[in-house]
């Protein structure tokens, strides 16, 4: 099987179209087209073409799960908890969505499973909000899914966490865990999303203050190219972000999984000028242009 897996489009249609073109191009080159397209959430939020992105995802993806920005835009999260800017952005985004777009984002399930995969936006224990960027946080989350792989988005950083499979099978934990108010505030008050530094410090992880008795796991930052999960390991995998990368590389990031080959991490240049022009024409914050140009 081959699956195209991407996340965090954030209303950047030029980046999304470049990724969809690249998926087709890889299929042509290898003679093996993907069987399914999966989107791990945050189709909209901040970016200038939310409606176009939802239409594209709706038309192309076999599965799309919701992210925090999708829920903010359709009123599923209480905007009273958001910073003023984030609330304004959510209102603006909502006004750009058609009824069909709205209904599509509304209907998507928080978590779903396909074969060896569990799909969530944040983490398996807290699908909408938790950032998985530290080994401790990831280690705590392995017992929350029962498949070989879990694919996540939300941090905008291409990442792999590996955990060795042992004879001892931990019981699958309940899928409810509240985020503290402080973490929620941190996540919501930065109008442009958290920086890599704040993500890697672990301060946005719901697990950061807990002592962990979880099995350890290993953090890998995958380079573009094929990553094979070693036999005897489970993995949590983040394909990075299509429309707002934050790892210092402004190119769109996504993954093609091939059950024979492994995980192909791709970086794709796109027409940044088109997105920049739209951001400026709409009067959206200039800081967004800077962060897209630098991938931060
Ligand atoms: Zn996001």
Would the pLDDT of 296 be above 70? Answer: yes
CA of 12 to the centre of ligand 1 (A): 12
151: CB partners within 8 A, 6+ apart? 5, 38, 40, 117, 118, 119, 120, 236, 237, 238, 239, 255
CA of 155 to the centre of ligand 1 (A): 7
11 half-sphere exposure, CB direction, 13 A CA radius: 25
Q: What is the pLDDT of residue 86?
A: 73
Token pair 């929620």 is found at: 184
Would the pLDDT of 74 be above 90? Answer: yes
CA of 154 to the centre of ligand 1 (A): 5
CA of 156 to the centre of ligand 1 (A): 6
Phi, psi of 19 (to 5 degrees): -65, -45
Higher-confidence residue of 182 and 40: namely: 40
CA of 80 to the centre of ligand 1 (A): 19
Q: What is the pLDDT of residue 288?
A: 87
Higher-confidence residue of 259 and 211: namely: 259
0.85 cut: is pTM over it? Answer: yes
CA of 232 to the centre of ligand 1 (A): 31
CA of 235 to the centre of ligand 1 (A): 21
Would the pLDDT of 199 be above 70? Answer: no
Paired strand residues for 247: none
What average pLDDT does the segment 104-132 reach? 94
Q: What is the pLDDT of residue 92?
A: 92
The proportion of the chain whose per-residue pLDDT surpasses 70, expressed as a percent, equals: 83
CA of 254 to the centre of ligand 1 (A): 14
């Amino acid at each position: 099987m081959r699956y195209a897996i991407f996340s965090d489009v954030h209303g950047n249609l030029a980046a999304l179209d470049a990724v969809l073109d690249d998926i087709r191009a890889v299929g042509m080159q290898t003679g093996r087209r993907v069987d399914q397209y999966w989107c791990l959430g945050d189709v909209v939020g901040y970016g200038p073409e939310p409606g176009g992105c939802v239409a594209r995802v709706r038309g192309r993806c076999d599965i799309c799960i919701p992210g925090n920005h999708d829920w903010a835009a359709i009123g599923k999260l209480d905007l009273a908890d958001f910073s003023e800017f984030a609330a304004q952005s959510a209102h603006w985004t909502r006004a750009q969505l058609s009824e069909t777009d709205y209904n599509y984002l509304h209907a998507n399930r928080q978590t779903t499973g396909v074969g060896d995969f569990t799909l969530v936006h944040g983490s398996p224990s807290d699908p909408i909000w938790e950032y998985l960027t530290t080994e401790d946080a990831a280690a705590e989350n392995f017992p929350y899914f029962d498949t070989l792989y879990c694919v996540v988005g939300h941090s905008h950083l291409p990442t792999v966490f590996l955990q060795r499979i042992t004879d001892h099978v931990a019981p699958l934990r309940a899928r409810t865990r509240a985020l503290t108010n402080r973490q929620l505030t941190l996540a919501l008050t930065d109008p442009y999303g958290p920086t890599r530094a704040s993500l890697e410090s672990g301060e946005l992880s719901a697990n950061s203050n807990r002592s962990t008795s979880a099995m350890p796991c290993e953090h890998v930052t995958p380079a573009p190219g094929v990553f094979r999960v070693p036999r005897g390991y489970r993995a949590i995998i983040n394909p990075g972000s299509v429309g707002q990368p934050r790892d210092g590389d402004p190119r769109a990031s996504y993954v093609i999984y091939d059950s024979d080959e492994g995980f192909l991490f791709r970086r794709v240049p796109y027409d940044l000028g088109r997105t920049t022009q739209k951001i400026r024409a709409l009067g959206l914050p200039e800081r967004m242009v800077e962060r897209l140009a630098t991938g931060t």
